[in-house]
Structure 1
């Protein structure tokens, strides 16, 4: 034993002595390792890979930053490790005996500690990848840049890039060398990759005819994403999913090719890790329809049921498109209120027209009096000839119009803010996330504290997370996450107490139920049980909580708009300036109608009667002549809603509504509703005419 140790020690000392005079030098794009005048090895990196940073020597390894990765190379030029970082490397610092790498993004800087390359070469801090294909697709791009003639050399120099091994497998398969093909495929699965690279590699393996290897790559993608804190409860935008290997796009390709068996594997991946991705409901529905077409109705219904379950926790449980559906409904309500209000004002104007003309004649006429005697003319506006009950209904209609327009604007801004990139990358935390979250100008509410605390907790800063959660006292999600912190520090009784308090506050919350040993079957808990079984379940804010954080509910928006009406004209995420002008107009109309309630009727209002124009309007505009009674307002609104629903058929509106009049059933229902309003209005009109005739006979008959 001792005879074997002595030669080994001498060899190590000799290697260290020879390396003492050696040094790594960067000349242009070439890294050279020189021992005096002798060149030991060199590596050249194409400009397309990004800027080079370093080199730095530490512990016998040479580190070089290339774009968003750091390579660690030994004294013999062998690649020891690769560190995948979330942005281009800007500096390497080996002071203090530890290597620190800095990356810089748009508005943020992050620093990471790089572990010993002999122990696997891991980044000690949590790495959150931004949805940037230049970063997440760097490995595949580096492999594509290698010319075919240099492929063998590049694969030897960089055995940690599986895309080089895949190219070798494809070349070996083309020449019929089965052994070399299988060996190269095996090497593609031999390293550690970030999950976007695993997904991109799985698609390439699948397309190259290696489905078993693709399945394994997808499983490793799930595990890597789980280790980095990505979770099914957090939504993913189409842009982010594209940067993470574009699995939904590959599913679409498979479905177009009719490869339903392979599509099922990728659909399961999306269902496990990114079930709430943008465009998911449409892809789920397409897949279910294809399953049903093949006679697999049970599986099709399973996917449809899964899609329905994803609506839980969204706004009004309407699904991922909830804000847009609310917007479409409020568009319909706004149009119905405009029709009702316009019909009512037109009817009142026609009834007061003759008497108003007589009253304004001494003032200079109906129109000139606005210039000569504006106050006296305003005193004789058509609305003022209406009794108090009719004016009050007009105020109610105008108030409804203000609320519906504000709600329309709220739905627009909420949809835009919920689709903010920071909230749609499958996780929270990291430098890119924090920089983008600052742009949202979140409200100072408990839901915002929950979001900030969760991001800090995912990043490993439990003390900052506790401070944030303290700003959300009694919040069930915050209580659960405080329990997770307690469990991590070994305080099991305190953790269970927090979980029970969270479950008592919200019995439908899955995270504390999971942590207490129950078995809720949600996408998040199933993912946790499979890929993070030893960890307690964090609670993530749902869409309702996020909406309160980014924009508040409708009452908050309405109060803000009433305090600062001109603020509705300011451009912002989802903010429509044209809709702001509509809100200002509706608000001005409401103010005028409220003022009209305070002005007494002119004495001549009793002479209005029921002129012919008024009778025609009363017959054509259901409910417009019955405003003194509550049922008149109901009839008028019903008529307005029916017309608003049918408006797209006449080409009068182009925006989407929850009612599709092109569907036979919907069109029939709307036409029936419209016919009923006219029938009821006609009956009321005939009754009013009979009462008017009896009154006139009574007035003209001898006493």
Structure 2
């Protein structure tokens, strides 16, 4: 608890006193004293739970002390003048340059800020970007919660800048029956200056305490503070970041569980305006729409569903984290189906050629030694050499499909890991934590990577660096738009409008350029800009496709890697599995070998070898394998393998968590029915082929007779 002991106050200080000549602040352990010689004018103690202390520093009669991620300013009388909220633990305070400079530390980076000592307390001149660290964003709440119930009044007097202490005091006064004093204290809490994560935390507690109007006001101030710090609805927010920013989605879930729809609407509006692309958003939007449907509000429910769909227009890149998980599991399912079909086809070809192959390679040393003694001659007698051209072509197509499925699986892993990168999921770019995280990423050179770096510099106020980066990224439309924003900030309106027009001409759906040209696009980001950043031009932020290209390139780049850069396929990086890389490389090599096998002349089998009893039994057990010479046989084989792969979750050995409909009872029953139908159809086709073969044999026998 922050404790204040004013010693000798009225006697030594007197009316109008501003300080004591020779008095200095001294920090001993966790106690800050303002001493005048041997006399202590005032002192405060700081529990260990508040974090590290830095300072003190006295400038113009004001004492600055770093407490965790905060810098408190005290007057010579010991009164709190104000508080500066910083993005990390304060490590040093310095006034050697004539201004108060604050250093904050993080893992692998350090930030420096300048404090402006105003009449209402210190303020940070530079942009402050809060990392998704609850130790930083939840410091004020934790400091208030650490105060015992009996000490709330004193702590609120000592630190009137902490609204959570004032709210606890208001609850005490309301319980004591003094509603007027409680409401007055709530107004004092709303009169403080806070960063947006603290406003969200305060809003939730005001809501719980029964002050809905005050909670709405806190949410509005949270939106405005977040907008001023560069947060934007076009930038996604992860669960971890949203939790550090007050965890509004969790509180909203509580409201929905309690069926408090009137309050839930206010929190849904907050998320929709500021964080529409938060992780888990589609599920929460669907849940809210379902509740509205149950309340008979079908129109509102459909409007929320339309809004949710508008955030991910039909492309793989805009499906979000959950969507990429679905793509990954769909690729896994396709891979399994293709492996089953390839295995079945290879098994039949091997069994069918077994006897003839053994006779041919016996002079070469047998099935194993022949590969060591005469590998080229042995390769002439592989199982596919006894297959027809159409059968080899089918195997080649299946292997090409396997390469595409494995590439899609690898791409989904890489793209998902890229989109889950913490530095890209905080609602904004830049700041010490974000820039350090962005610098650690292995981005591909190009306009997409340049756009990320340019945005980080521009949002942090370094327009000269941003202009250099954007110029290197031209003619990217996003970079053109953001160069126009820099030109407009310099007062060059003509050049800015020219750059906006060029950006819109290159990409007609670029809402940022349309907004800057005054075309008023009806998009959520444009509405946000007009409401919370009035009069300011809109920046263009990278979409998920651009971010994915900055990390992994397009899907075609992933598929080309086994040919262009095999070593990179096997290099473990963010989202890349070496085992999957080996599988992709192996499938590509096998596909190339099978393509070459199309040039091999076919070694014919005798009718007895081609129609051995075991071969005919396998054609019954493995649908489609007996008809691989026909396109319909290949389709039957692939359909059977796909059904078998889709039914594997019933065994419990393989799971496709991102495809929940696949394991639903009705669908599984339908798949079983389709599998039985495949076997029946395969049997009918084989019997038809047998009858045709029998007739053909009889006609030949009659002709020979």
Q: Counterparts of 1:292 and 1:488 in 2: how far apart (Å)?
A: 47
- The aligned length equals 692
**Which residue of structure 2 aligns with residue 140 of structure 1?**
141
**Shift in alpha-carbon separation, 1:184–1:627, aligned structure 2, 3 A:** same
**What pairs up with 1:61-460 in 2 under 5 angstroms?**
61-118=62-119, 120-312=121-313, 315-363=316-364, 366=367, 376-460=377-461
Q: Counterparts of 2:312 and 2:367 in 1: how far apart (Å)?
A: 57
Task: Please say which of residues 207-216 and 646-655 is displaced more in the overlay.
Answer: 646-655
1:335 Cα deviation after fit:
1.4
Secondary structure of 2:661's aligned partner: coil
Is residue 204–residue 215 contact of structure 2 (8 Å, CA) maintained in 1? yes
Secondary structure of 2:119's aligned partner: helix
Is residue 67–residue 89 contact of structure 1 (8 Å, CA) maintained in 2? yes
**Which residue of structure 2 aligns with residue 4 of structure 1?**
none
1:697 Cα deviation after fit:
3.7
**What pairs up with 1:295-694 in 2 under 5 angstroms?**
295-312=296-313, 315-363=316-364, 366=367, 376-565=377-566, 567-602=568-603, 608-651=609-652, 653-656=654-657, 658=659, 660-663=661-664, 666-667=667-668, 670=671, 674=675, 677-678=678-679, 681-682=682-683, 684-694=685-695
Q: Counterparts of 1:561 and 1:367 in 2: how far apart (Å)?
A: 29
Task: Please say which of residues 675-684 and 441-450 is displaced more in the overlay.
Answer: 675-684
Does residue 66 of structure 2 align to residue 59 of structure 1?
no
1:433 Cα deviation after fit:
0.3
Q: Unaligned regions of 5+ residues in structure 1, if any?
A: 1-10
Q: Map Cα deviations across residues 541-579 of structure 1 (whole Å, 9 max, x no partner).
A: 111111111221122222234444455444433233442
Q: Counterparts of 2:606 and 2:548 in 1: how far apart (Å)?
A: 50
Secondary structure of 1:622's aligned partner: coil
Task: Please say which of residues 271-280 and 312-321 is displaced more in the overlay.
Answer: 312-321
Q: Counterparts of 1:651 and 1:155 in 2: how far apart (Å)?
A: 58
1:261 Cα deviation after fit:
1.6
Is residue 72–residue 117 contact of structure 1 (8 Å, CA) maintained in 2? no
Q: Counterparts of 1:149 and 1:119 in 2: how far apart (Å)?
A: 29
Q: Map Cα deviations across residues 66-108 of structure 1 (whole Å, 9 max, x no partner).
A: 1111111112212112110000111111012111101110110
1:293 Cα deviation after fit:
1.4
Secondary structure of 1:97's aligned partner: coil
Q: Counterparts of 1:12 and 1:492 in 2: how far apart (Å)?
A: 58
**Shift in alpha-carbon separation, 1:667–1:147, aligned structure 2, 3 A:** closer
Q: Counterparts of 1:178 and 1:14 in 2: how far apart (Å)?
A: 35
Q: Counterparts of 1:110 and 1:483 in 2: how far apart (Å)?
A: 29
Q: Counterparts of 1:132 and 1:188 in 2: how far apart (Å)?
A: 24
Secondary structure of 1:122's aligned partner: strand
Is residue 131–residue 240 contact of structure 1 (8 Å, CA) maintained in 2? yes
Q: Counterparts of 2:463 and 2:667 in 1: how far apart (Å)?
A: 54
1:368 Cα deviation after fit:
6.4
1:534 Cα deviation after fit:
1.6
**What pairs up with 1:12-51 in 2 under 5 angstroms?**
19-51=20-52
Is residue 562–residue 585 contact of structure 2 (8 Å, CA) maintained in 1? no
1:317 Cα deviation after fit:
4.3
Secondary structure of 1:470's aligned partner: helix
1:698 Cα deviation after fit:
4.8
Secondary structure of 1:33's aligned partner: strand
Q: Counterparts of 2:494 and 2:37 in 1: how far apart (Å)?
A: 64
1:659 Cα deviation after fit:
7.7
Alignment TM-score, normalising by the size of structure 2 = 0.92
**Which residue of structure 1 aligns with residue 704 of structure 2?**
702
1:347 Cα deviation after fit:
2.0
Q: Counterparts of 1:360 and 1:427 in 2: how far apart (Å)?
A: 67
Q: Counterparts of 2:456 and 2:246 in 1: how far apart (Å)?
A: 24
**Shift in alpha-carbon separation, 1:628–1:49, aligned structure 2, 3 A:** same
1:625 Cα deviation after fit:
3.0
